[in-house]
């Protein structure tokens, strides 16, 4: 049964077979099925056009459509796509000749019941797509589609070089059928797999030993105060500040991790961060003086001296003052009085240097006073510079280094020529030289 589709309706008819018997030797005997007649010229059974031979084959508004072995009566608005004539060869009948069945549907469709349905060439493997291509059925036909990342050139699929289109912000790597984006060091791919965003190496375990600063595309290592960045750019090495200068500390510089500190010798305390100041043990009570002694502070220590230091023939008349009475024969060539004083100076003091001023406490009219070092200056480290009639200055003449102690008797001689009178008094000065220049 063949289906014939018209524009308005589809009808089905039974196709009758035209049977052709081979003619006899006299070529006068023929036999054809209904709807066919013998053609003596071609020696074949040919279709009878009933629309021409049958009187009023179709009546009313129906139109006659001839087909092989019969005819159809269809509405006048209908149209039929005729099938090609069946092949025939002399000496063969219609039943033994193979021909395509009549298909009244458009190309890419086939009849199904009273309708024309699309033929899925992809499922039936009735396509010419390459193995790498995908067959996609469309109404009435099919298309061969290349995989993603390829384009069709003729019948072949050619890889698309996506890198030509600058899809990537930094670097593009083309691969068959696709591409990948890569970022420069210090960046990572964004969520769109194309853009590159800065990597915060400091949050991702950058090898900085102390401080890390993120920058665009990289990072920087920095060190804390007192450290310097090593050659590798990551490690921080301690700076030995003490080796850079000898003036950082007044006494001793001690290097510490990341810093330095100044230390002072015993008997001194740190003043600020680098200077050393003498500790006055007499004021702080850090001394071992007894009740009969007086504490004298000197640089770096203290000295305990007897409260009464008068030696015979001198007698003590007040604190630190001794008198030699003129009634004693032994006092004839000695100063009448001796006053005890104490002072301390630093080592390596620049010279000449004024260190102590002598001042007369009693002045007699008409008397002339002169000053001299009576004793204690064995090496000539000091000299007296007289200022006027009643005062003089003890001057350090040479630089001295401590610790050491000098006991100098500084004498003032008073002469009255009118009265032929001469007397003298002395100041016993204990000079303690400290061990340091501070």
Segment 296-324, tens digit of pLDDT:
999 999 999 999 999 999 999 998 999 99
pLDDT tops 70 at residue 11: no
User: With the C-alpha atoms ordered 85, 87, 90, 91, is the resulting torsion angle positive or negative?
Assistant: negative
* CATH 2.10.25.10 domain position(s) in the chain: 162-198, 201-238
pLDDT tops 90 at residue 185: yes
The answer to whether the CB of 38 falls within 8 A of the CB of 32 is yes
Domain 315-433: CATH class, spelled out: mainly beta
Residue 55 is predicted with a pLDDT of 84
Of all residues in the chain, the percent with pLDDT exceeding 70 is 85
**Which of the residue ranges 16-30, 54-68, 217-231, 325-339 would you say has the lowest mean pLDDT?**
16-30
What does CATH list as the number for 162-198?
A: 2.10.25.10
* CATH 2.60.40.60 domain position(s) in the chain: 315-433
The string of pLDDT tens digits covering residues 168-177 is: 999 999 999 9
Domain 201-238: CATH class, spelled out: mainly beta
pLDDT tops 50 at residue 32: yes
The helix (run of H) or strand (run of E) holding residue 243 is: helix 241-244
| Confidence bin at 61 (pLDDT 50/70/90) | confident
Pairing of strands 115-118, 44-47: unpaired
Beta carbons within 8 Å of 164's beta carbon, 6+ residues apart: none
| Confidence bin at 417 (pLDDT 50/70/90) | confident
The string of pLDDT tens digits covering residues 364-398 is: 788 899 999 999 999 999 999 999 999 999 999 99
Residue 387 is predicted with a pLDDT of 96
pLDDT tops 50 at residue 23: no
φ, ψ dihedrals at 364, nearest 5°: -100, 140
DSSP label of 284: H
| Confidence bin at 44 (pLDDT 50/70/90) | low
Residue 99 is predicted with a pLDDT of 52
Q: Which residue has the tokens 């019948």?
A: 155
The string of pLDDT tens digits covering residues 274-297 is: 999 999 999 999 999 999 899 999
Beta carbons within 8 Å of 215's beta carbon, 6+ residues apart: none
CATH number assigned to the domain with residue range 241-278, chosen from the 4 options 1.10.150, 2.40.10, 2.60.40, 2.10.25 = 2.10.25
Q: What is the mean pLDDT of the chain?
A: 85
The string of pLDDT tens digits covering residues 395-413 is: 999 999 999 999 999 999 9
**Which of the residue ranges 82-86, 197-201, 220-224, 262-266 would you say has the lowest mean pLDDT?**
82-86
Residue 93 is predicted with a pLDDT of 47
| Confidence bin at 2 (pLDDT 50/70/90) | very low
User: With the C-alpha atoms ordered 117, 122, 124, 129, is the resulting torsion angle positive or negative?
Assistant: positive
| Confidence bin at 125 (pLDDT 50/70/90) | very high
pLDDT tops 60 at residue 85: no
């Amino acid at each position: 049964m063949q289906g014939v589709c018209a524009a308005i309706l589809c009808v089905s008819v039974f196709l009758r077979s035209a049977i052709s018997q081979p003619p006899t030797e006299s070529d006068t005997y023929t036999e054809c099925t209904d709807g066919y007649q013998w053609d003596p010229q071609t020696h074949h059974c040919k279709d009878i056009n009933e629309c021409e031979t049958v009187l009023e084959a179709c009546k009313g508004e129906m139109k006659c459509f001839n087909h092989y072995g019969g005819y159809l009566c269809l509405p006048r608005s209908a149209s039929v796509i005729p099938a090609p004539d069946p092949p025939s060869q002399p000496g063969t009948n219609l039943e033994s000749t193979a021909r395509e069945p009549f298909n009244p549907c458009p190309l890419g469709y086939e009849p199904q019941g009273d309708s024309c349905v699309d033929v899925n060439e992809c499922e039936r493997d009735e396509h010419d797509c390459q193995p790498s291509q995908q067959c996609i059925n469309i109404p009435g036909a099919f298309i061969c589609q290349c995989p993603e990342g390829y384009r069709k050139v003729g019948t072949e699929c050619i890889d698309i070089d996506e890198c030509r289109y600058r899809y990537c912000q930094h670097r593009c790597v083309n691969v068959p059928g696709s591409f990948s984006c890569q970022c420069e060091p210090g960046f990572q791919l964004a969520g769109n797999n194309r853009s590159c965003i800065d990597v915060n190496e400091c949050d991702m375990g950058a090898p900085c030993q102390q401080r890390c600063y993120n920058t665009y595309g990289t990072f920087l290592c920095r060190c804390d105060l007192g450290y310097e960045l090593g050659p590798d750019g990551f490690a921080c090495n301690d700076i030995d500040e003490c080796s850079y200068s000898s003036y950082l500390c007044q006494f001793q510089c001690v290097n510490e991790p990341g810093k330095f500190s100044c230390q002072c010798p015993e008997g001194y305390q740190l003043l600020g961060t680098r200077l050393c100041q003498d500790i006055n043990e007499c004021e702080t009570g850090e001394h071992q003086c007894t009740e009969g002694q007086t504490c004298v502070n000197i640089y770096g220590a203290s000295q305990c001296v007897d409260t009464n230091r008068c030696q015979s023939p001198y007698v003590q008349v007040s604190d630190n003052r001794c008198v030699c009475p003129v009634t004693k024969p032994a006092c004839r060539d000695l100063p009448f009085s001796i006053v005890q004083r104490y002072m301390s100076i630093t080592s390596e003091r620049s010279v000449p240097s004024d260190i102590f001023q002598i001042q007369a406490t009693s002045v007699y009219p008409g008397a002339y006073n002169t000053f001299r070092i009576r004793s204690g200056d064995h090496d000539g480290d000091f000299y007296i510079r007289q200022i006027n009639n009643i005062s003089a200055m003890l001057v350090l003449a040479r630089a001295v280094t401590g610790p050491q102690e000098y006991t100098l008797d500084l004498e003032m001689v008073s002469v009255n020529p009118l009265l032929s009178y001469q007397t003298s008094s002395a100041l016993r000065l204990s000079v303690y030289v400290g061990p340091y220049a501070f």
